[in-house]
Structure 1
Amino acid sequence: MRGLPGLLAFAALIATPAAAQLSPAEQVIVETVEAHHEADIALLERLVNQNSGTHNHAGVKAVADMLAPEFEALGFEVEWIDQSAAGRAGHLFARHEGKPSTTRMLLIGHLDTVFEPSSPFQTFVREGDRGIGPGAEDMKGGDVVILAALRAMKAAGTLQDANIVVAMTGDEEDAGDPLDAARADLIAAGEWADVALGFEALAKIDGRDMSSVARRSSNSWQLEATGKTGHSSGIFQEQVGYGAVYEMARILDAFRRKLPEENLTFNVGFMAGGTPAEVGEDGLSASTVGKTNIIPSKAVAKGDLRTLTQEQTDRIVAAMQAIVDQNLPGTDATISFDFRYPAMAPTQGNRDLLAKLNAINADLGLERMEEFPPSRRGAADISFVAPLVGAALAGMGADGAGGHAEGEYVDLPSMIRQAQRAAILMSRLSQEPRD
């Protein structure tokens, strides 16, 4: 039995693939991220403590001003892109020119949060491995992961060959108007890039890290139904018809019965019906008046539409329009759509990129990352560029929970493995020729 401890130690050594396939430069990346972790947490705390609700333009710019010197110290050319014409603060872009004719990479983050200055949730608090604060998970933790990865690449000497654009939008939580103007610079960067990496929060299932090769769209619709009004005793009669509310009910129930399919949702956010009924100027409310003995003349409703591909979007929009057009007697209806965030469809290129990331996971001794169900994630800025690049992955940021609510937190140790994964992936991509 005397030799058993040594045998067990040898068995453990050969069974552990951690760092087994890492190059010397990649080992430097691993060590640099770990060594700089506490400084990264300190930066995260400063970012979180600066309110940057989307409509706090000065706060969004202040976060950009904190991040800009960090990128400049790594040799990036930094640009602030004013978005006042779109009613928003602006975007921070950082660019690094590397070896010609190699993979061009676009890293996507955002500066804003959902927490405006009026929110009581304003301060970073560290509790063990959790960093609690507004935007800690969505997505200031991811912004710090970007910097941690690039800093480690710099230390390892792999940044010098890398062609990278970092795009941090200032209005991801509430995009500016017109949307084409608000996303023009991001789309231009997507047209330049070969690969896009989105650094919003890491997805997990049952404690296991997952990767997002797809994200659904986020669009909205508005429905209006009209009918002949009059005394309620005449409803359903040929000369009067069914009224606006029954027409609205017919349409929404037909949506429920006829449209459902995989990866599709269509929520009804609010509705109203009466004589009259109107959507509020803010687009977020509705008002109505009426009496029980009056047939309602108008009904309104607004909702969202989430799809996995553009083909699915086009097909469902056509199906919704066909349902709307089948009016009850004495009624009419119209539907309009506001297309905001497109879908990031699952592609072979995305899955090939995940395979490269999983090779890195094996080299780091980490578990294989499976695909996260797209129905469980919302829309994101990466969707604007995913159709333009050869490959895209989302969820490259830090793990956490509670996003968009008081108590939101980031899992601080997750920042280490996410920065290591990203830095090694970018280092390897930087040596690949463009297709």
Structure 2
Amino acid sequence: MIKNVRKFINEHEQNMVSLLKKLVEINSYTGNKEGVNAVASVIQAECEAIGLHVRRESSEQAGDNLVIETQLHKEGKKGILMCGHMDTVFPPELGFNTFTHDETNFYGPGVADMKCGLVEGIYVLKALDALGLLQDMSIVFICNSDEETGSINSSELILKEARNSFVGFVLESTRAGGELVIGRKGRMTFELEVTGEAAHAGNVGAAKVSAILELARQIQALEELNDLPQGLSVNVGKIEGGVGANTVSEKARAIVEFRYTKKDSGDKVWEAVQQLAAKPFTKGTSCTVRTITARPSMDTNDAILGLYDMIKEIGTEHGYDIQCAQCGGGSDANYISQTGIPVIDGIGPIGGKLHSVDEYLVSSTVPERAVLATLVIAKAWDLYCCK
């Protein structure tokens, strides 16, 4: 099988690069619905060309989500979930909109995060189809439109499909060393708003009820919740408040995030945040907290490690050096893991400098990881879905 898969991918490598270029040069910033939908249309056409069923689910808040499925999945047979996102973090006005390359890398907005993964997923399906395997497999490929903002409008779709799957794969680009991701931190972003009493700074005296003063004290207490050895980080990323130097501030606010490796530690931090807000340090002030986004942690467990061992065995057999790692950043694998099915992330090509105008993708790993992913999907079907 390895010989046939490599032959197919090698013969179609230039097609993969052309498709990657086409997708990268469509601006699909999360807030650019038209651009995200244009990416969705390209993917839809590629998949329908090999007889896959494609369903588009629209949303008022974001672009369309794609559900790409084989006939067996459409008929309700449980199988394999693949997942990738179409949106990027680069707004059109940034002017970062060109696909370029040199001898070793491809460059461009979303080239690694994660339009390379979308191309990989499409060509995994095409390779399986060319080998005559796809018609006997139940596979669903979710391409969602709002992962970069927490998958607020697509997480329920992903969870629904995960519950109807035996195993999951997220096709995010992999780390610089090529490691597969077996665990990711959970993340919550929240707003802390403080209310005080407006007053003239020169006349208020000792009775000052300053929202800014209370916010500063809350920030110090929040930062003290950091516990890096335990994988817990808290960061106050933005603050606002006040109208001028001669006015005691009535309102002040901060945008804060915390990340955690285990659910129980995340729960404890959130409880501590609410306790701090309930008991302000400055008399007369009040604090409220409001969740903006939340993504659960992807906790490494025996099921995930078992799936990783299967992939490592494939690597050993066919000359791939397979390693694993845990990551601080989140992805849709965080959601998939909540259903209890084993999921592996970072099975895409190697990339780096994500979310920057220097984002790159190692070009040689595009066909390499497509071959690996095809072998992994085929083996996972035999081991997990044909019981």
CA distance in 2, matches of 1:56, 1:35: 34
The reply to whether residue 161 of structure 1 matches residue 136 of structure 2 is yes
Amino acid at match of 2:256: G
Amino acid at match of 1:404: H
Does the 8 Å contact 1:103/1:195 carry over to 2? no
Tell me what 1:255 maps to: 222
CA distance in 2, matches of 1:236, 1:349: 63
1:268 to 236, 250, 260: 236
Displacement after TM superposition at 1:210 (Å):
0.8
Tell me what 1:62 maps to: 38
The residue correspondences of 1:30-429 to structure 2 (distance < 5 A) are 30-83=6-59, 86-98=60-72, 104-174=79-149, 179=152, 181-204=153-176, 208-228=177-197, 230=199, 237=206, 240=207, 243-261=210-228, 262-274=230-242, 288-291=243-246, 295-328=248-281, 329-370=283-324, 372-375=325-328, 378-429=329-380
CA distance in 1, matches of 2:345, 2:249: 47
CA distance in 2, matches of 1:345, 1:352: 14
Deviations 1:340-370 (A, max 9, x none): 3222222221111111111111012122312
Amino acid at match of 1:385: I
Does the 8 Å contact 2:232/2:260 carry over to 1? yes
Does the 8 Å contact 1:161/1:431 carry over to 2? no
CA distance in 1, matches of 2:300, 2:256: 25
Amino acid at match of 2:173: A
User: Unaligned 5+ residue runs, structure 2?
Assistant: none
User: CA 1:391/1:122 → structure 2, altered by over 3 Å: closer, same or farther?
Assistant: same
Displacement after TM superposition at 1:75 (Å):
3.1
Amino acid at match of 2:292: D
CA distance in 1, matches of 2:25, 2:201: 58
> TM-score, normalising length from structure 2?
0.89
Deviations 1:381-430 (A, max 9, x none): 23222211410111111212232222322111111221122111111111
User: CA 1:392/1:226 → structure 2, altered by over 3 Å: closer, same or farther?
Assistant: same
Does the 8 Å contact 2:225/2:234 carry over to 1? no
Does the 8 Å contact 1:28/1:155 carry over to 2? no
User: CA 1:35/1:322 → structure 2, altered by over 3 Å: closer, same or farther?
Assistant: same
> TM-score, normalising length from structure 1?
0.80
User: CA 1:210/1:322 → structure 2, altered by over 3 Å: closer, same or farther?
Assistant: same
Q: Give the SS at the match of 1:196.
A: strand
Q: Give the SS at the match of 1:212.
A: strand
Displacement after TM superposition at 1:320 (Å):
1.5
Of 250-259 and 424-433, the range deviating more from structure 2: 250-259
Amino acid at match of 1:215: R
CA distance in 1, matches of 2:284, 2:333: 45
Does the 8 Å contact 1:324/1:335 carry over to 2? yes
Does the 8 Å contact 1:162/1:426 carry over to 2? no
Q: Give the SS at the match of 2:240.
A: strand
User: Unaligned 5+ residue runs, structure 1?
Assistant: 1-24, 275-287
Displacement after TM superposition at 1:98 (Å):
4.5
Does the 8 Å contact 2:167/2:384 carry over to 1? no
CA distance in 2, matches of 1:386, 1:307: 15
1:432 to 377, 383, 387: 383
Displacement after TM superposition at 1:54 (Å):
2.3
Displacement after TM superposition at 1:120 (Å):
1.5
Does the 8 Å contact 1:194/1:389 carry over to 2? no
Q: Give the SS at the match of 1:388.
A: coil
Larger radius of gyration: 1
Q: Give the SS at the match of 1:432.
A: helix
CA distance in 1, matches of 2:37, 2:280: 50
Q: Give the SS at the match of 2:184.
A: coil
CA distance in 1, matches of 2:202, 2:39: 62
Displacement after TM superposition at 1:102 (Å):
8.1
Displacement after TM superposition at 1:218 (Å):
3.0
CA distance in 2, matches of 1:62, 1:228: 50
Identity %: 25
Deviations 1:284-331 (A, max 9, x none): xxxx3342xx54443321112222233222211001222233333343
CA distance in 2, matches of 1:44, 1:421: 18
Does the 8 Å contact 1:220/1:304 carry over to 2? yes
Q: Give the SS at the match of 1:431.
A: helix
Amino acid at match of 1:89: G
Let me know the Cα RMSD of the aligned residues: 2.6
